[in-house]
Structure 1
Amino acid sequence: MAFEPTDYLPYDFANRRHIGPSPEEMAEMLQTVGAADLEALIDETVPASIRQKAPLETGRAMSERELLHHMRITASKNEVFTSLIGQGYHGTVTPPAIQRNILENPAWYTAYTPYQPEISQGRLEALLNYQTMVSDLTGLEIANASLLDEATACAEAMTMAQRVAKSKATAFFVDRDCHPQNIAVMKTRAAPLGIEVIVGNPEKLDAEQVFGAIFQYPGTYGHVRDFTDQITALHEHKGIGIVTADPLALTLLKEPGAMGADIAVGSTQRFGVPLGYGGPHAAYMACRDAFKRSMPGRLVGVSVDSHGNRAYRLALQTREQHIRREKATSNVCTAQALLAVMASMYAVFHGPKGLKAIAQRIHRKTVRLAKGLEEAGFKVDPKAFFDTITVDVGPLQAAVLKSAVDERINLRRVGETRVGITLDEATRPEAVERVWRAFGITRKDDDFTPEYRVPEKMHRTSDYLTHPIFHMNRAETEMMRYMRRLGDRDLALDRAMIPLGSCTMKLNSAAEMMPISWREFALLHPFAPADQAEGYREMIADLSDKLCQITGYDALSMQPNSGAQGEYAGLLTIAAYHRARGEGHRNVCLIPMSAHGTNPASAQMVGWKVVAVKSDERGDIDLEDFRAKAQQHAEALAGCMITYPSTHGVFEETVMEVCEITHRHGGQVYIDGANMNAMVGLSRPGDLGGDVSHLNLHKTFAIPHGGGGPGMGPIGVKAHLAPHLPGHPEDGGGEEGPVSAAPYGSASILAISWAYCLLMGGEGLTQATRVAILNANYIARRLEGAYDVLYKGPTGRVAHECIIDTRPFSDSAGVSVDDIAKRLMDCGFHAPTMSWPVAGTLMVEPTESESKAELDRFCDAMLAIREEIRAIEEGRMDRENNPLANAPHTMEDLVREWDRPYSREQGCFPPGAFRVDKYWPPVNRVDNAWGDRHLICTCPPMEDYAEAAE
């Protein structure tokens, strides 16, 4: 038989890999939704007034093979030197077992934030291990489950200190030996909050003048100092002492808790997480027990399930910024869960003895390096150090730095006459010899007697990592099985659709993910010379250009390393623009009631006053209320923050009028980019009147969520705002200060979004948006009659997500939105976004990646749940003892005595659940109240404590 020609490549990713429904399935779905074709559906959904005029042209789609070849060429333009720059970033060795089983495993990197704890038990245990590790190493009682990077953790610690200190002072002291990027980010955070930052010598600290102080340990130039006296003085004046500490050094050095520190922060990057040109890396924060309710970020706690079995959950601060809005203490929404898991597994892999041995080897190598330099006549500082020294070379600084580069070594320029050197786990003896050669010394690294350069009074005397989990059999077989067991307890995208509204849990393809493990992307130091990072610069420039085309903006900053950081950076940019025009008094921000909870929290962080705008009966912005409040606050109006399409999943037709009103009264328009997956190729925020938007690359542009992070939130701006984008001290400065530790945020994961854009091409990106809208409308239509869809556009269509109203069932059947969410677990699904933006509802976003079969499986499950609710309403099923009230059901339920008025079959194998490959939740419903009453945030004893629950 003759071959028939095809009009697509066999590996055309855009049309046959990323987009879930086949053309045949799309035709069936369009028939169900009642649209003539896909373009007709888009015309009915997206108002003509906001449609972009020309097709999106970001280049043709590449095949996967073409992409990987192109990425290899780009990667080869990065030169991987041995970077001994330090400054908070270190070479490390990622154990291959962790690289393969965590970093490169979709069971770990495609999971969502653990807001549904019953199906997140694996990563919650890993994060509890992380918290235990941090708490032990710092000597403080409570640690959170990670923050974005060390510099932002320092800034969060500063504002936390201001909240908890009893001192009335308004100034904050910063150790001059803090890393420069830490100082810069703290200054950025402090300025709009009216905090005076005093940078100075800790020995000259006037504790009466400040509400708190932060000290780097070891210092950026290597100094190992005991800050006990300074912290004692702070306490005498009701201030707070903070130490930002290297966790690996804490295996040898006196811990912050032993100095009396109230808060400790730092980075766990050197616990097996690649440099990645700046990230992503998990920062940590620990504090005294008395301050735990003021700590930002996520906190994993131990609780019990409905049968008294141990179960983990997020505790205390969970989604605080969504609940408290402008009264939130932080806008932190994304953590670095995947990287925290890697760091925790590194600690489990090595154990306390292994970590101490690594630290000792690093210190001994640094001592040998220093002795070789001293014997050659160089002056080496400081006298007490862990892994970092500085060498005074006088006028030879430039020559030494160049000689080091000739040896393929990067050293740090310190002032005008010194050179900084930081050794790490990956430093080989030959690298030490190359450093000596750069200083004109020829010798071998084999003839020094090991010694310590840490005073005995600074030696750590307390135990750490004593929990049995850090003493398990570390044979790789056992490690592999432990990581597999934890992964199997979670529900991630590799098992099922995660239909979360506004979170856009789409495919993270293998081809996009592969390059982040390549050494050319993974091993670059963020402060390496620019000519060694040409591949990164080329990638960032091209991705920026593509994103500007997609959004209609003129310039982009890649620095924000989360969506909330993007909001914050966008508002800082607007504030700087107003100051430059002599209008720094503008400080009022209009925010609709339906806005993301991080919006008002971000506005508060830049010192603005939030004025809420009502929603009308359709959920849209109440235009009259918006107009009135813009007029009322015209003299002080800084801007407005809106989400488009709206948080309710509708393209509001008044968006351009909202922008015009804001501009007329002197404000700037911030358009939240969370829902960009409904706009790419169809509409551009920059054309609607937006002045700045952040883009969730971990949503629309295919970076995976990683169980709650990493994320990236770059901001696009119009030309007039471009001069006011975040700067960075290591990248030429700029008018404004930085918001993140590295110039390009979590740079390594930008490769994922770039690959996504290259694979899809302009046509594929646009088609993805169309199909996302089709999938959402298909679900809305299939569930029609069983559930009410709360908000629709004028033609009865929804955008990329829809809100299902479950509130009536509370009265009619005693069924809550929680019950439905937990019952979906029995069906093998993660629940949609629950009770937001409307309490008691489910917001569903299927994305374009899901096939018709998976959409149907979800709809079948939802329809079956509706029938169970109907049975309760009609008295055919007990109101208190039913499959919804008892959900989720575990495998253990099958073997327990069954005394329920419904069958095991109905309870455990509802419609939607696979028969052979069924996902079993590892625990029954978690008791949140018990967990908050008995707050445990470190690893509990290994024996079961079900008796305590009784």
Structure 2
Amino acid sequence: MNTIDRSSKVRNFHQAKWDEPIIFELSKEGERGVIPPYAEDEVVESIGDGISVLPQSLRRKNIDLPEIAQHRVLRHYLRLSQQTLGADLNVEIGQGTCTVKYSPKINEKLARMPQMSELHPHQDERSVQGILEIMSKTEEYMKEISGMDRFTFQPSGGSQAIMTMASLVRAYHDKNGDSDIKDEIITTIYSHPSDAAAPAVKGYKIIKIFPDENGYPDFEAFKEAVSERTAAFIVANPEDTGVFNPRVKEFTDLVHSVGGLCCYDQANANGLLGVTRAKEAGFDMCFFNIHKTFSAPHGCGGPATGAVGVVEKVSKFLPCPLVDYNKEEDKYFLNYNLEDSIGRVRMFSGVPQVVLKAYAWMRSLGPDGLYEVAKIAVLNNNYLYNKLMQHKSVDAPYIRGKQRIEQVRYTLEKLKDDTGVSTADVQRRMMDFGMHYWTSHHPYYVEEPVTLEPTETPSKEDIDEYINTLTYVLDEAYEDSSIAINAPYRSSIHKVDESELDDSDKWAITWRAYKKKNTLVKA
């Protein structure tokens, strides 16, 4: 390996690597960490032992949980934690459209208070007035930010929020009696794949709009796609290229002219806070990833919330319960009395701890602070963009000479042509420096893509470190392509044969499935 010049801000890195079995393999019969007590006498007298009331058909004969002592559980998960990367460990710019920003630790502490961590969804409403008030006030902030009239925090994340919007579209047209006619939903190729996948699951035919030469959704193609069969238009703006469509109101007006609904995927809203709103763009509903735009950790690193907001005419279809306020009794309550509700999209009211983190984040910033977040996110992104575009192997399609919003989808096609090093090779090599790097959603409409989103979190020094590290890897590819092609070397795992992921006989997603397959193989 080449010696790294420390003045270049490229950090050497070596990740912990444990030959760690999964916890089921560590299980040892009879070993205990905690022995739960039997029900107390008073409880038994009141409701029984909690088990005997269950029908035999509902009782598991074998729970098949790992049996392991406390200290070994701690050792196991600490070892696993040493083999991960995250925003608290490295410069997290490379997550692309997934918006990973710093979550203030005071907010994490708030969410871990016993009053929050020990909440139970069946508690009496009188005992949870505090969090119900916070959820209600967070909804008010979301309404102001978006222009929508009501919000639900029930969806578990962005994709489920999109599924919720698709369900609302279905319920709206069912109520209007035109569902048989309105069976098409329009989206764009650079919107998130879930914008097509979720309504497809609901039975809609999906029409995808490709970009024009500047990267904007092709309006002429859109006009041809819109018809009396159009149930809705679901779109991200800016799209994952970082290109913002300034004509979006023309798109929503056209859909409204044929009786369709317009749904805004605002997962890429980090550069728009205080700048644009869904209402003024003509949308009937939108969603925010609270676990992204509003600082709570990203869903794959913890619980998530996809906040769905709607205009008044759609509000009666929202999933219940919603948090409402009874002025006469001066109390907050869970309102299950929603006319034409689509029902629950998950149990109870979502993840209140995530809502609390977002509430605290917004309260600490205020309106001016949220606007500053957007400005810095756009500034950071365009600084990164201009610096990376100076490298001979980096390019970015569309709107040349104009700024992007909060992210950019670059292409390393020239690097692949010149050296044989692919974007996936660069991704693995960046792991050797403790850096994450994201390519793109599939399919790759941009050749050899890399999508970077710095957000407002990193300083100029952090961005420079990322730029210098990526530049080091790109330059190295021209000097010796084999280094990147065979990477990583200092990560917790070596190069994975991704072709095996396409063969379902070679993997199992649960311990039970693994044991079943293993038994069949041995047989």
TM-score normalized with structure 2 length: 0.83
Q: How far off is 1:935 after superposition?
A: 2.4
CA distance in 1, matches of 2:96, 2:362: 23
The counterpart of 2:212, out of the listed 616, 631, 648, is 616
CA distance in 2, matches of 1:482, 1:559: 33
Q: Secondary structure of the equivalent of 1:758?
A: helix
User: What residue is the counterpart of 1:724 in the other structure?
Assistant: 317
User: What residue is the counterpart of 2:489 in the other structure?
Assistant: 889
**Alignment check: 8 A CA contact 2:149 2:311 kept:** yes
User: What residue is the counterpart of 2:327 in the other structure?
Assistant: none
CA distance in 1, matches of 2:109, 2:233: 39
The counterpart of 2:389, out of the listed 760, 784, 797, is 784
| Residues 270-314 of structure 1: CA deviation (Å, up to 9, x unaligned) | xxxxxxxxxxxxxxxxxxxxxxxxxxxxxxxxxxxxxxxxxxxxx
| Residues 895-942 of structure 1: CA deviation (Å, up to 9, x unaligned) | xxxxxxxxxxxxxxxxxxxxxxxxxx122212233564632556799x
**Alignment check: 8 A CA contact 2:172 2:317 kept:** yes
Q: How far off is 1:574 after superposition?
A: 2.3
Matches within 5 A, 1:667-682: 667-682=260-275
User: What residue is the counterpart of 2:492 in the other structure?
Assistant: 922
Q: How far off is 1:567 after superposition?
A: 0.8
Q: Secondary structure of the equivalent of 1:843?
A: strand
CA distance in 1, matches of 2:110, 2:29: 30
CA distance in 2, matches of 1:559, 1:794: 40
Q: How far off is 1:365 after superposition?
A: 4.0
Matches within 5 A, 1:224-239: none
Q: Secondary structure of the equivalent of 2:309?
A: strand
**Alignment check: 8 A CA contact 2:233 2:255 kept:** yes
| Residues 854-880 of structure 1: CA deviation (Å, up to 9, x unaligned) | 100111112222212333xxxxx3x5x
**Alignment check: 8 A CA contact 2:157 2:304 kept:** yes
Q: 1:532 to 1:356 in 2, by over 3 A?
A: closer
| Residues 155-206 of structure 1: CA deviation (Å, up to 9, x unaligned) | xxxxxxxxxxxxxxxxxxxxxxxxxxxxxxxxxxxxxxxxxxxxxxxxxxxx
* Residue 800 (structure 1) aligned with residue 388 (structure 2): no
**Alignment check: 8 A CA contact 2:155 2:307 kept:** yes
Matched length: 481
Q: How far off is 1:464 after superposition?
A: 3.2
User: What residue is the counterpart of 2:134 in the other structure?
Assistant: 539
CA distance in 1, matches of 2:15, 2:337: 45
Amino acid corresponding to residue 565 of structure 1 in structure 2: Q
The counterpart of 2:249, out of the listed 649, 656, 661, is 656
The counterpart of 1:736, out of the listed 326, 341, 344, is 341
Q: How far off is 1:806 after superposition?
A: 0.8
User: What residue is the counterpart of 2:419 in the other structure?
Assistant: 813
Q: 1:352 to 1:643 in 2, by over 3 A?
A: farther
Q: How far off is 1:454 after superposition?
A: 8.3
CA distance in 1, matches of 2:193, 2:205: 15
**Alignment check: 8 A CA contact 1:504 1:699 kept:** yes
CA distance in 2, matches of 1:823, 1:692: 41
Q: How far off is 1:485 after superposition?
A: 2.0
User: What residue is the counterpart of 1:566 in the other structure?
Assistant: 161
Q: 1:644 to 1:707 in 2, by over 3 A?
A: same
Q: Which has the larger radius of gyration?
A: 1
Q: How far off is 1:613 after superposition?
A: 1.8
User: What residue is the counterpart of 2:478 in the other structure?
Assistant: 870
| Structure 1 stretches lacking a partner, 5+ long | 1-117, 134-346, 374-379, 390-452, 872-876, 891-920, 942-950
Q: How far off is 1:747 after superposition?
A: 1.8
Q: 1:462 to 1:628 in 2, by over 3 A?
A: closer
Q: 1:709 to 1:869 in 2, by over 3 A?
A: same
The counterpart of 2:120, out of the listed 502, 525, 548, is 525
User: What residue is the counterpart of 2:465 in the other structure?
Assistant: 857
CA distance in 1, matches of 2:400, 2:485: 37
Q: Secondary structure of the equivalent of 1:678?
A: coil
User: What residue is the counterpart of 1:255 in the other structure?
Assistant: none
CA distance in 2, matches of 1:641, 1:706: 22
CA distance in 2, matches of 1:862, 1:502: 18
Q: Secondary structure of the equivalent of 1:744?
A: coil
The counterpart of 2:372, out of the listed 767, 784, 797, is 767
* Residue 488 (structure 1) aligned with residue 90 (structure 2): no
| Structure 2 stretches lacking a partner, 5+ long | 1-13, 323-333, 515-523
CA distance in 2, matches of 1:454, 1:713: 37
Q: How far off is 1:483 after superposition?
A: 3.0
| Residues 304-357 of structure 1: CA deviation (Å, up to 9, x unaligned) | xxxxxxxxxxxxxxxxxxxxxxxxxxxxxxxxxxxxxxxxxxx97x98654895
The counterpart of 2:286, out of the listed 689, 693, 699, is 693
Q: 1:806 to 1:369 in 2, by over 3 A?
A: same
Amino acid corresponding to residue 487 of structure 1 in structure 2: S
CA RMSD of aligned residues (A): 3.2
**Alignment check: 8 A CA contact 1:645 1:652 kept:** yes
Amino acid corresponding to residue 485 of structure 2 in structure 1: A
| Residues 658-696 of structure 1: CA deviation (Å, up to 9, x unaligned) | 111111121111110110101101111221111111110
Matches within 5 A, 1:493-504: 493-499=87-93, 500-504=95-99
TM-score normalized with structure 1 length: 0.47
Please say which of residues 813-822 and 611-620 is displaced more in the overlay.
Answer: 611-620
CA distance in 1, matches of 2:153, 2:291: 13
**Alignment check: 8 A CA contact 1:780 1:789 kept:** no
User: What residue is the counterpart of 1:644 in the other structure?
Assistant: 237
Q: 1:454 to 1:859 in 2, by over 3 A?
A: same
**Alignment check: 8 A CA contact 1:651 1:799 kept:** yes
CA distance in 2, matches of 1:351, 1:677: 50
**Alignment check: 8 A CA contact 1:562 1:696 kept:** yes
Amino acid corresponding to residue 459 of structure 2 in structure 1: S
| Residues 368-413 of structure 1: CA deviation (Å, up to 9, x unaligned) | 644x35xxxxxx79xxx74485xxxxxxxxxxxxxxxxxxxxxxxx
Q: 1:601 to 1:121 in 2, by over 3 A?
A: farther
Q: 1:813 to 1:479 in 2, by over 3 A?
A: same
Amino acid corresponding to residue 78 of structure 2 in structure 1: R
CA distance in 2, matches of 1:688, 1:125: 51
Q: 1:868 to 1:794 in 2, by over 3 A?
A: closer
Matches within 5 A, 1:337-352: none
User: What residue is the counterpart of 1:552 in the other structure?
Assistant: 147
Amino acid corresponding to residue 497 of structure 1 in structure 2: V
Matches within 5 A, 1:370-385: 370=44, 372-373=45-46
Q: How far off is 1:739 after superposition?
A: 3.2
**Alignment check: 8 A CA contact 2:317 2:342 kept:** no
Q: Secondary structure of the equivalent of 2:172?
A: helix
Please say which of residues 927-936 and 482-491 is displaced more in the overlay.
Answer: 927-936
| Residues 691-734 of structure 1: CA deviation (Å, up to 9, x unaligned) | 11111011101111264441100111112111221124974242
**Alignment check: 8 A CA contact 1:728 1:737 kept:** no
CA distance in 2, matches of 1:739, 1:351: 40
Matches within 5 A, 1:449-468: 464-465=64-65
What percent of counterpart residues are identical? 23
Q: How far off is 1:459 after superposition?
A: 7.8
Amino acid corresponding to residue 515 of structure 1 in structure 2: L
Q: Secondary structure of the equivalent of 2:293?
A: coil
Q: How far off is 1:512 after superposition?
A: 1.2
Q: Secondary structure of the equivalent of 1:923?
A: coil
Amino acid corresponding to residue 583 of structure 1 in structure 2: D
CA distance in 1, matches of 2:204, 2:152: 22
CA distance in 2, matches of 1:701, 1:888: 33
CA distance in 1, matches of 2:110, 2:313: 35
User: What residue is the counterpart of 1:408 in the other structure?
Assistant: none
Amino acid corresponding to residue 411 of structure 2 in structure 1: D
**Alignment check: 8 A CA contact 2:408 2:452 kept:** yes
* Residue 598 (structure 1) aligned with residue 194 (structure 2): yes
